[in-house]
Structure 1
Amino acid sequence: FNNILTSVLGNVSMARATLPRSGPASNLLTEAEQACVRARQITWRLLTFSKGGVPAKKTLGIAHILHESAGIALRGSAVRCTFNLPPHLWMVEADEVQLVQVFSNVFINAKEAMPHGGVITVTAENVVEADRRSECALPVVPGNYLQVSIVDEGIGIPREHIGRIFDPYFSTKQRGSGLGLATTYSIVKNHGGFLVIESNLGRGTTVRVSLPASSSHAVYQPVEPMAHRSGDRRRVLVMDDEASIRTLTSNMLQFLGYDAEVVDSGSAAIERFAHRKFDVVMLDLIVPGEMGGKEAMRWLADINPSVKAILVSGHTRDAVLADFRDHGFQAVIAKPFTLQELSATLCSVIGTPGWRVH
């Protein structure tokens, strides 16, 4: 299903990037792209809960994650969101996909607590924790944290339920699965963070999510339209066993101003890499019946120890996603991905991309 969704999302995002920002066609494609992103989040949420997805951590800013999560959770509702996100917030080392799940789940619960509409206030701040303690049975280790507070104006949570809201399958809603906040708890725990819940019946609930701050100063930069840069085009080698994904990725790379070559297996990637020079290699993690990305990377590093590579994953539970740098990769990108996400990932690995897209 991820490969099917990759083809749909990739082509929609590429079509949208060819049009002006405003206009009926662009607006319709934006709607389609957002629908694909919501479908992607549902797929990843199911995989995370059922398989216990290993965090594929990278240095992230929080602002775009909060905006995306709110858009997914609140779309079509009478609830609106206000953001207080000051500049110079600390970065976090986190799995972007899983963080979107964390905050989407919190936003969904806040929305359902306000069936007639209302306002959710989101605030982020840098916090230094000096004392060792526990919150919601999660350890708080002294250090620097990025804290996100999500405050609703809903019905509140009864005191007797506060201690159980993160339990799997516990729900006070007639149609609730009890999995959303349990998944949130698991992800925050796996990231070394902690949660605080404050609630008053009839007055609303505050959920505080604290994540360890990163020592890195990398900054997330949304991609914007710009003209093709001058100079030689970068060459990218793509390895994927699915023909449709190879074709799509090649088209996306060419649109971004790169030259792309594609192969269908790890052994074919090794053969091509040994005879051609590439600025970056994109390797699919798992190739049924053939050599996958992790094994191929070892061979590529023997050929050229300075090889730059991106691990492409359908969000499996393989531990290589969490420690991809230990296996020689510079970045991870999860299927399905948009044109903007591909451009940003390439930028992080080999510098300024040929195109920046809206």
Structure 2
Amino acid sequence: MYDYLKKPFDPERLLNVLARGIEYKALKRKLSNSEKRFRQLSRATWEGIIIYDKGALLQANTQLYEMFGYTEEELVGTQIFDILLDRTTIKAMHLQSDPETIGPFEATARRKDGSRFPVEIRVKQIDYSGRSAEVAAIRDVTSNRMSLEKQLALQQKLADARRMEALGLMAGSVAHDLNNIMAGIITYPEMLLLDLPADFKFRKEIKMIRDAGKRAAAVVNDLLTLTRGTGTKTEVKNLNTLVNDYINSVEYRELYSRYPDILITSTTDPELADISCSTIHVTKSLVNLVNNAAEAAKEGGSIVITTGNRSFTKTVSGYETIEPGDYAFLQVHDNGHGIAADDLPHIFDPFYSKKVLGRSGTGLGLTVVWNTVHDHGGFLDVQSGDEGTCFTLYFPITRQQPADSPLIPSLLTCRGQGERILVVDDQENQREIARRLLARLGYQVHSVASGEEAVEFIKQHQVDLILLDMVMEPGINGCETYQRIIEHRPDQKAIIISGYSSSDDIELARKLGIQHFIKKPYTLNELGQALRLEIS
């Protein structure tokens, strides 16, 4: 009841009471509509909204309760920020210079279940039913934070890719020249050893020169992995085979002689699926991981090499995000001192090493692993702690069947029978090396210094095979040279021989019909085998 009148009443007073009643009704309806609109707006917003006085909750919208997992009965009248926010956030709010408007600022909020999540808070003073109060808008910024983290991660990944690309360009630009230099250091000692008697006084020293050249060539090959896209031969292989071959290799015996107290064991899955891979690069990755593990392992420690199959139906987060798919994995686990948390994000960077300078390695060992895995469309994971480090390499499996391995001729059976070979190389010393090796193998040899000369030579002469350098300056490269040659002689056989070639060049050469590729520096045996396989 709003008002009353006593009989008898004054008609004028009646009119006044009626006017006030109508006005009161209109105000009440207006207030009700305003409150209704406020509730609708508060429900429509993505933010949690609370009205409080001296920290005690007076009113909140549905989103607030849903955001934090409480019911209205659990929160009304409580010291709301003591429940929802960390103490550091509350102190920060009280230290704001403007008492009427606080924020926006980010804070850490607590749900009823104890989980924490990032929020953005804005606070403003209002008049609430005739008294001063505060209204706070709280927004969950988890998705924003995740988006920002993804953006920063993407920016870092892009920066890393650009850095690797720059290093790759540098590596590719010098690799061809370095491998040409290594060819002489390896090949001439090898030819000397073939001619010298077994008891020659300096035979050991000549072998040391040759072996030093081979080690230098291996460093160049490691450097070439930075280019991400050099030509490599892939074939269907089983990781078990690569592990077994390594355990029976010279590299393994040398490692065991350096670390006789370390126990190295392998556990291979007999049902392991095949992968399509570059045998050389995957084996090199295994060697690098085991070498690192041996250096990190404690005295009397252990290294376990494991293979297996693993399938992921959704993305898996680890050292990097692993995409769904079927994989064959190669794992190397040691019980060493582990990798420091600060170092872990950088271990695959070129030349990032905590080893004593000059002790071992080139600083590219793990970079080789990283690039090899990703060049094969795979992923890797690293787990490290006080109990050691575990590297797991994931390679996509293949359903292709392994090709029949060609019968590799021995040096005794790979001699030529007077076949004519044309050597095409822009470097005189490389032509001389090839001429000497081919003559020793029993071939007739002709040589030219450019692709253009090779095309003119083939127009006038017939040869059984062309040894063709890929990168020749100035002038046309190996692919274009061969393309012009087969216009005149469609069945002409050729072998690419180069210190550095991109995968695109190698793929083009294969499409043109060239099947064999020899990497400089090469040995007499490698050259002889490739020639016999191609000619026969």
- TM-score w.r.t. length of structure 2: 0.53
User: 1:155 corresponds to which residue?
Assistant: 337
Determine which of 286, 289, 293 is the counterpart of 1:110: 293
Letter in 1 for 2:412: M
User: 1:311 corresponds to which residue?
Assistant: 496
**1:78-97 mapped onto 2 (5 Å cutoff):** 78=259, 93-95=276-278
User: 1:194 corresponds to which residue?
Assistant: 379
Alpha-carbon deviations, 1:156-206, whole Å to 9, x = none?
345776565435665555659865323421221012233344555345545
- Give the secondary-structure state (helix, strand or coil) at the position aligned to 1:312: strand
Determine the C-alpha separation between the residues in 1 that align with 2:370 and 2:484: 39
Counterpart contact for 1:56–1:332, Cα < 8 Å = no
**1:203-218 mapped onto 2 (5 Å cutoff):** 203=388, 205-208=390-393, 210=395, 212-213=397-398, 215-218=401-404
Determine which of 155, 174, 185 is the counterpart of 1:8: 185
User: 1:166 corresponds to which residue?
Assistant: 348
Determine which of 453, 461, 474 is the counterpart of 1:276: 461
Determine which of 31, 48, 52 is the counterpart of 2:225: 48
- Give the secondary-structure state (helix, strand or coil) at the position aligned to 2:462: coil
Determine the C-alpha separation between the residues in 1 that align with 2:335 and 2:201: 36
Determine which of 305, 325, 333 is the counterpart of 2:510: 325
Counterpart contact for 2:382–2:389, Cα < 8 Å = no
Determine the C-alpha separation between the residues in 1 that align with 2:380 and 2:319: 6
- TM-score w.r.t. length of structure 1: 0.75
Determine the C-alpha separation between the residues in 2 that align with 1:302 and 1:144: 44
Determine the C-alpha separation between the residues in 2 that align with 1:24 and 1:140: 59
Counterpart contact for 2:233–2:278, Cα < 8 Å = yes
Determine the C-alpha separation between the residues in 2 that align with 1:292 and 1:172: 42
Unmatched runs of 5 consecutive residues or more in structure 2: 1-177
Which is richer in helix?
Answer: 2
Determine the C-alpha separation between the residues in 2 that align with 1:89 and 1:22: 49
Structure 1 range deviating more: 106-115 or 324-333: 106-115
- Give the secondary-structure state (helix, strand or coil) at the position aligned to 1:282: strand
Distance 1:202 1:19, change over 3 A: farther
Q: Shift of residue 314 of structure 1?
A: 1.5
Q: Shift of residue 20 of structure 1?
A: 9.1
- Give the secondary-structure state (helix, strand or coil) at the position aligned to 1:236: strand
Counterpart contact for 1:239–1:264, Cα < 8 Å = yes
Q: What is the root-mean-square deviation of aligned Cα atoms in Å?
A: 4.4
**1:1-358 mapped onto 2 (5 Å cutoff):** 1-16=178-193, 29-49=206-226, 51-59=227-235, 62=242, 70=251, 74=255, 77-78=258-259, 93-95=276-278, 98-99=281-282, 101-114=284-297, 120=303, 122=305, 127=309, 129=311, 133=315, 136-137=319-320, 139=322, 142=325, 145=328, 147-157=329-339, 165-166=347-348, 171-173=353-355, 179-199=364-384, 201-203=386-388, 205-208=390-393, 210=395, 212-213=397-398, 215-219=401-405, 224-227=410-413, 232-317=417-502, 319-351=504-536
Counterpart contact for 1:3–1:245, Cα < 8 Å = yes
Determine the C-alpha separation between the residues in 2 that align with 1:91 and 1:178: 30
Unmatched runs of 5 consecutive residues or more in structure 1: 352-358
Alpha-carbon deviations, 1:67-104, whole Å to 9, x = none?
77946994984367968699999876544664465344
Letter in 2 for 1:226: L
Q: Shift of residue 5 of structure 1?
A: 0.9
Counterpart contact for 2:189–2:206, Cα < 8 Å = yes
Alpha-carbon deviations, 1:191-241, whole Å to 9, x = none?
223334455534554544636556442437776453566x94333221011
Determine the C-alpha separation between the residues in 1 that align with 2:230 and 2:362: 23
- Give the secondary-structure state (helix, strand or coil) at the position aligned to 2:456: helix
Structure 1 range deviating more: 72-81 or 34-43: 72-81
Letter in 2 for 1:334: K
Pick 1 or 2: higher relative contact order, CA cutoff 8 A, min separation 6.
1
Determine the C-alpha separation between the residues in 2 that align with 1:89 and 1:259: 47
Counterpart contact for 2:293–2:334, Cα < 8 Å = yes
- Give the secondary-structure state (helix, strand or coil) at the position aligned to 1:44: helix
Counterpart contact for 2:421–2:444, Cα < 8 Å = yes
Q: Shift of residue 274 of structure 1?
A: 2.4
Letter in 2 for 1:6: A
Aligned length: 347
Counterpart contact for 2:333–2:390, Cα < 8 Å = yes
Counterpart contact for 2:288–2:365, Cα < 8 Å = yes
Counterpart contact for 2:186–2:211, Cα < 8 Å = no
Q: Shift of residue 333 of structure 1?
A: 1.5
Structure (1 or 2) with the larger CA radius of gyration: 2
- Give the secondary-structure state (helix, strand or coil) at the position aligned to 1:333: strand
Counterpart contact for 1:59–1:94, Cα < 8 Å = yes
Determine the C-alpha separation between the residues in 2 that align with 1:285 and 1:171: 34
- Give the secondary-structure state (helix, strand or coil) at the position aligned to 2:446: strand
Structure 1 range deviating more: 19-28 or 158-167: 19-28
Counterpart contact for 1:153–1:203, Cα < 8 Å = yes
Structure 1 range deviating more: 300-309 or 127-136: 127-136
Letter in 2 for 1:289: P
